[in-house]
Structure 1
């Protein structure tokens, strides 16, 4: 198989080189095909339900708790026991499955590394294959990397626990088709990671652990429950062998946390506050509601009431059910400039103190240089405990829907809008060029933060918002500032670097997803068409 491979059911459109031949074996294809054949129709139905739900929101309905599932929320039940190697998750680091990144992350002073096939990875075929091979070697303990300077990187004796974030329900894998259509990207990621690593993971006392992103309902998580149970039965594994943490990073999902835990109760170990995607989802879900428009991104911290309620409700819900309540990502990254770095570490410390004091069991960082700071905060709060499952928040007043839906105070400024343009422009250029996770102006940006940037501007244009200096946000103003920021970028980078990049394509894509009458649901969907 040197050019392409076509099974009786799956059509692989890319060449099968050495790496593909190692990973996409006949047995792996058979497993992937079985998943695709069984679960594709249900996926399509769930995506249709998403569109119908959003249509109701666009017509004026607001998200809320489902009266039909009151019995689940009010019942006394708990999830299945959590594996020993996941009992302490006080600091987790995330990043794409790049060889050097994986080694540095697994060797960092953290408990868990989440290898991300979603928001921080551009899904070019060779990156997906290389990422799967990298994780396979990491599980075996054989992963090595030699830098350009000859420095050798290899895994330490006791690396962090490995988890894998697969792509969300909405993302397809265009390089593999079934019945003439691209298959689910999440099924592709899950099938290859599980198939090649389950035996080695179990042999060393761990297991196939996953993060599930962009969920909107318990019904969607029911889809993953069926996938997990089908897989366990196919491989003769005990029920609950596969474990997952679900990201609560959409506004509809915050009203479905009990239902999510219930539907995946044999396999779930916790929920995570995916704060950046959650802010993006707030804007997107309530895009047609002129009374629920958010201010500059820089004003939207976890101290804002609607986000603090989200955090506290997640903790209370999870701990009542015996599940972990994981905190969110600090997007700040260390600086080589001493004063700036001191400021960064202080901001990270304050953020993590808020999470630990609220009762979160752990938190996320994007850079190994923040591990010691984050861990010290949780060490201080946890003491001899492995987690905070004992923090029940029973004295909290009930959190109602209006608290979760209330927009926060803050200004809309020219500086904030220009910052949004720069972040989205930089990120889109990097993503088109093959890099899904990039440092921009002192922050580690991935798709989520770029999504906030462009949807915020879209919403300001749509609802004719005024900036604090009186300027009305229009398509013309956005395009004028985009042009100016593009010129500034060319000046700062120099013609050679600018012309070697994909800035023209990035600007065109940004205009498309920011000014169209109908909001594009995810920037990665039109962006995917621009990569090989």
Structure 2
């Protein structure tokens, strides 16, 4: 029998385990989900349509720029974001990862200042993954989180008071939760994730000395930040919590958002906890938004570094903007992971992490991201040495002046497109998509921790190169036929490496089918996650399309 929500107008189509029913999908929580959906979903859909219209303008040559209608906000030096909230004053190292139970415990115990539990780019949003993630979040906040591995090993959250402050990243505004209908309409993944975490944990989080804290992803307009602020206000009023208790850090991971940084902080003001350089998604967004213009063709992903002009300008502007408004400027992700059984390769990878974090702290960042517990020590060492105090909000960066031209300067000195880069993009896209279809949203590939953002760069570059018939450093023209041939070869290579049995059990061919439609320079899905989502939607007793 399908799960009975006991809430008028709320239909649960996914399979619900007993612990999910009793702990998460309670009638009271679902009523809150429905309230948020009915209040805010029309605005969400309208803002997504604005994205479509803005893309059409960009395709016609009307490039992003700072908004004249919000100039007064940028020029007004009197306003500030909120003061750092409890548990968020010192954010010098933040670890991120999926909401898997064992990984949550390891992240909380890692020694990082905060842990961003990710329902978005690190999570394949099967209904079971999401609901299990909410159980894990509730157990973490209510201080009862433990895990026993299949081999009997016990995992517990440390008791010495050095547990990372929990921050949750819900899905972006563009994503849906098709396992839940409200009044016959598919609900927003963002509102669903926010509502269930907030409803079950907001009061308890304050009780233990922190608060309900969020990372806000993939926004393209300050109006989308305004919508989050409206959601925060209604949510706090709904449970009788003072406004301003919630805090949200905006990920600046789209080229559109880079032109509205001050406006993002302004819209969230009493709820703002700063901005973050979501650098991998940012590179993806630059390719995606400017993909029709051959002037913006980028070289191999490995050549696009943080010293590339458009990346350097974006970082400098973010730090200046945050410190001007009194909020944290968070650095980007180190995707490296320890390399076992190869001391030289591991040292080179860890040195790369060290130098990256050194660049960030010297630039003025107040903290940084890592993807693996072993990297926490390296990042802490750098930030402790160069930023002994909890943050460096006092560094104003008044010397920085970034123009629209600077943010759009994608020239990469010495950058090349190589066959190695092409094959790496095909391999990463293919392997990540296969894992995501299996329900794993964060996977180690080629000694890097890959999530949806890095896979998006890879497939978008392939599309861009085919679209504009770019040439490799050897003079080879990149055509759709060339890329499809490489795809076939990479699939054959994986088949040999995996063996017949593993290959047949995998989702490689399913991933290949999707990827082959994305690398010809014609069809282009807005996001890989929306392209693949239908394949992981499983309804209770029946699989069908909504």
* TM-score clears 0.5: yes
Note the alpha carbon deviations across 1:307-330, whole angstroms, 9 max, x for none. 111111000000000010000001
Q: State the partner residue of 1:321.
A: 325
Q: State the partner residue of 1:458.
A: 463
The range that moved more, 43-52 or 2-11, is 2-11
Secondary structure of the residue that 1:240 maps to in structure 2?
coil
C-alpha distance in structure 1 between counterparts of 2:517 and 2:102, whole Å: 35
C-alpha distance in structure 1 between counterparts of 2:486 and 2:319, whole Å: 41
- The Cα shift of 1:504 comes to 0.3
Q: State the partner residue of 2:402.
A: 399
Q: State the partner residue of 1:95.
A: 97
Q: State the partner residue of 1:14.
A: 14
Secondary structure of the residue that 1:439 maps to in structure 2?
strand
Q: State the partner residue of 2:531.
A: 526
Tell me whether 1:290 sits opposite 2:294 in the alignment.
yes
The range that moved more, 21-30 or 41-50, is 21-30
C-alpha distance in structure 2 between counterparts of 1:516 and 1:248, whole Å: 27
- The Cα shift of 1:109 comes to 1.6
Tell me whether 1:191 sits opposite 2:195 in the alignment.
yes
Q: State the partner residue of 1:128.
A: 130
Q: Name which of 359, 366, 373 aligns with 1:361.
A: 366
C-alpha distance in structure 2 between counterparts of 1:84 and 1:526, whole Å: 39
Q: Name which of 481, 484, 505 aligns with 1:500.
A: 505
The range that moved more, 268-277 or 76-85, is 76-85
Secondary structure of the residue that 1:513 maps to in structure 2?
coil
Q: State the partner residue of 1:370.
A: 375
Q: State the partner residue of 2:261.
A: 257
- The Cα shift of 1:59 comes to 0.9
Note the alpha carbon deviations across 1:409-457, whole angstroms, 9 max, x for none. 2101111001000000000000001100000000000000000000101
Secondary structure of the residue that 2:270 maps to in structure 1?
coil
Q: State the partner residue of 1:30.
A: 31
1:211-250 correspondence runs (5 A): 211-250=215-254
Unaligned runs of at least 5 residues, structure 1? none
The answer on whether the counterparts of 1:168 and 1:213 sit within 8 Å (CA) in structure 2 is yes
- The Cα shift of 1:13 comes to 0.6
C-alpha distance in structure 2 between counterparts of 1:428 and 1:408, whole Å: 29
Note the alpha carbon deviations across 1:4-48, whole angstroms, 9 max, x for none. 436311211123431232211111111111100000100010000
The answer on whether the counterparts of 2:329 and 2:367 sit within 8 Å (CA) in structure 1 is yes
The answer on whether the counterparts of 2:479 and 2:520 sit within 8 Å (CA) in structure 1 is no
1:308-457 correspondence runs (5 A): 308-336=312-340, 337-383=342-388, 385-396=389-400, 398-409=401-412, 410-457=415-462
Note the alpha carbon deviations across 1:245-283, whole angstroms, 9 max, x for none. 010000000000011000000101110000000000000
The answer on whether the counterparts of 1:4 and 1:13 sit within 8 Å (CA) in structure 2 is no
Q: State the partner residue of 2:61.
A: 60
- The Cα shift of 1:395 comes to 2.1
C-alpha distance in structure 2 between counterparts of 1:62 and 1:366, whole Å: 33
Secondary structure of the residue that 2:96 maps to in structure 1?
strand
- The Cα shift of 1:179 comes to 3.1
The answer on whether the counterparts of 1:19 and 1:129 sit within 8 Å (CA) in structure 2 is no
- The Cα shift of 1:199 comes to 1.6
Secondary structure of the residue that 1:62 maps to in structure 2?
coil
Q: Name which of 75, 78, 81 aligns with 1:79.
A: 81
C-alpha distance in structure 2 between counterparts of 1:366 and 1:424, whole Å: 19
Secondary structure of the residue that 2:477 maps to in structure 1?
coil
Tell me whether 1:517 sits opposite 2:518 in the alignment.
no
**Alignment RMSD:** 1.1
C-alpha distance in structure 1 between counterparts of 2:271 and 2:187, whole Å: 24
Secondary structure of the residue that 1:216 maps to in structure 2?
coil
C-alpha distance in structure 1 between counterparts of 2:247 and 2:3, whole Å: 37
- The alpha-carbon distance between structure 1 residues 235 and 390, as it changes in their structure 2 partners (threshold 3 A), is same
| Runs of at least 4 residues off by over 6 Å | none
C-alpha distance in structure 1 between counterparts of 2:106 and 2:429, whole Å: 27
- The Cα shift of 1:341 comes to 1.3
- The alpha-carbon distance between structure 1 residues 256 and 347, as it changes in their structure 2 partners (threshold 3 A), is same
C-alpha distance in structure 1 between counterparts of 2:280 and 2:308, whole Å: 13
Tell me whether 1:276 sits opposite 2:277 in the alignment.
no
The answer on whether the counterparts of 2:246 and 2:271 sit within 8 Å (CA) in structure 1 is yes
Q: TM-score with structure 2 length normalisation?
A: 0.96
C-alpha distance in structure 2 between counterparts of 1:15 and 1:482, whole Å: 35
